[in-house]
Structure 1
Amino acid sequence: MHKKELLTKLDDRQAEDLETYITSDSMWSPVTKFIEEKGLRDDYRETDFIKFLRKVKEENSMNYAVFSYYSLKNLAEALGIDAKWKLVRRKAKLKKPSDREQQKPTLTAEQVEKMVKAVKKNGYDYERFFLALSTAFGCRRIELSRVKEEDIFEDRILIRTGKGGEIREQFLPKQIRPIAQGFEFNGDFTVNVLSDIFHDIRGKAGVEKRGRMGWHSLRRGLVTEFRKRVSQEDGYADADLFKFVRWKPNSRVEEMLSIYDNSDPVEADRKMFEIHPFVEMWGG
């Protein structure tokens, strides 16, 4: 079964989610092979995934088995299946990719400033728009692709998260407000197109290309620079940064904190922008 054939068999939401989650052609291979073997259903059991992944592990390298594991996890999420992936990971004896495999380059403040200067001087409107959002909010690539005209308001913007974090409005700082509010949404900015846009900007700025460099490199840079300031300034904590960059709680403690903390998130963002490492680059 080919990718196109699979997408036509899904409803619109499932097809859109699956294309969103699986962003490289190679990631479709385990998904289509799984469906060819098991058939297309929305009631797969854990044993369906476990048996398939065991077979993959026996016939392929561990790296490909891990790769297949994450591809099928994306399939389950798109189909709305609540699979107990810890059980799958243990029984299939699959390991989380090593820190080295997950490592992505981190842009320095100097590199970010070069990119901002490049698009301010000689950039297209869409380059300024996406770089402004990325430098301000540390947007993931999928979050940038989901921004719509109706998500931008007078002093705030709705960020639609892609990894289980809280979808909420965030304060839109005055430094990038004209760029965001003046942008004309007349293109199809898919995740793949956004990757090309990132490297176009990087090239204009003269920032050296490194393997796996992309929008997440800028997000890592923002978090790195932010933490230096959060740890040094009174009245700020890592919890504020956690919420600002829309991380999904990964413990019961963090989940309960997010439930019980009823402070105005937009006002909290406004405070964070007072110590923001990149937003002033857009001023003047």
Structure 2
Amino acid sequence: MLKELVYNDLMARGKTEPVAKEWAAVAAEFEQVCGTKESYARTEVTAFLTHLRKRGILQSTIDKDLKAIKLLAQIQGWEFPKLSLRRVSPDEIRRTILSKDSIGSLITLGTQGLLSDTELCYLALATTYGLRRVEMVRLKPSSFPNEHHLIVDTAKGGSKTTHLLPPQIVPYLASFRHYEADTLTHMFHRIAQKAGLSTGAGYGWHSIRRSLATELTL
């Protein structure tokens, strides 16, 4: 189904048949991984991205394949999510990073009612978007214009980006309060301690970001 959608669209645009077949093959692979649907969520696109990376193909090829999925999103009328977390370099991987199991422990802790409402709020933001501490500091009530979107003032000279809010985390965001950097650092270590994790110097919210970019390949 998806294969035909992409193929027919490209042929109607006047693209060559080899290109149409190549992109259609990507759509077919996407359908095999994510199932046949009329629209897809960020989690499903991320699952496909993980699938591509496990194949060990070049990043340039991955970028090209994702263009086919962006076209599919345009055809079907759903919003292609921002996949802004790059794969970190080997040097960065050697920095503090939480394992996949550790991230799971933090999330499980939240479901057990052992975190405060504000701790749950920031943990949800960190594990969903991999926000840097400075990006958390820049958050304010206006960063949540409605129950569907989050606006992030990105670090390192980046522009503001708008993200879709998964409905699963929306209830936690109602407890949002602004905190300065030091308070957020203490909050991270407090959450980690509750989860029984050993986090010494160098660990922080960025450790979750690195985990999302490597262990969980978001």
Q: What TM-score, normalized by structure 2, do the two folds share?
A: 0.54
Equivalent of 2:101 in 95, 107, 110: 110
Displacement, 1:119?
Answer: 2.9
The 1:213/1:184 distance shift into structure 2, 3 A limit, reads closer
Q: Aligned partners of 1:190 and 1:103: how far apart in 2?
A: 27
Q: Give the Å deviation of 1:145.
A: 1.3
Match of 1:198 among 188, 194, 198: 188
Residue in 2 aligned with 1:162?
A: 155
Contact 1:129 1:179 in 2 (8 A): yes
Counterpart-to-counterpart distance in 2, 1:135 and 1:184: 15
Map of 1:218 onto structure 2: 208
Secondary structure of the residue that 1:225 maps to in structure 2? Answer: coil
Pair 1:150-2:142 in alignment: yes
Q: Deviations over 1:55-93 (max 9, x none)?
A: xxxxxxxxxxxxxxxxxxxxxxxxxxxxxxxxxxxxxxx
Separation in 2, partners of 1:119, 1:203? 13
Instruction: Tell me what 1:127 maps to.
Output: 119
Larger radius of gyration: 1
1:79 aligns with none
Q: Which has the higher contact order (CA 8 A, sep 6+)?
A: 2
Looking at structure 2, the residues matched to 218 and 143 of structure 1 have their Cα atoms a distance apart, in angstroms, of: 14
Structure 2, unpaired ranges of 5+:
1-90
Structure 1 residue 135: deviation in Å?
0.3
- Equivalent residues in 2 for 1:1-284 (5 A)? 99=91, 103-121=94-112, 122-152=114-144, 153-180=146-173, 182-185=174-177, 189-227=179-217
C-alpha distance in 2, partners of 1:151/1:120? 25
Paired with 1:159 and 1:171, the residues of 2 have a C-alpha distance of 11
Matching residue's letter, 1:129:
C
Normalising by the residue count of structure 1, what TM-score does the alignment of the two structures yield? 0.42
**Deviation digits for residues 187-219 of structure 1 (CA, Å, limit 9, x no counterpart):** x51011100000000000001123301111000
Instruction: Give 3-state SS (helix, strand or coil) of 1:169's partner.
Output: strand
Q: Which runs of 4 or more aligned residues in structure 1 lie more than 2 Å from their structure 2 counterparts after TM superposition? A: none
SS at match of 1:194: helix
Contact 2:121 2:176 in 1 (8 A): no
Deviations 1:213-260 (A, max 9, x none): 111100000011343xxxxxxxxxxxxxxxxxxxxxxxxxxxxxxxxx
- The secondary structure found in structure 2 opposite 1:168 is strand
Deviations 1:93-125 (A, max 9, x none): xxxxxx58x952111111011112223321111
Instruction: Give, in whole Å, the separation in 2 of the partners of 1:211 and 1:116.
Output: 22
CA distance in 2, matches of 1:111, 1:179: 21
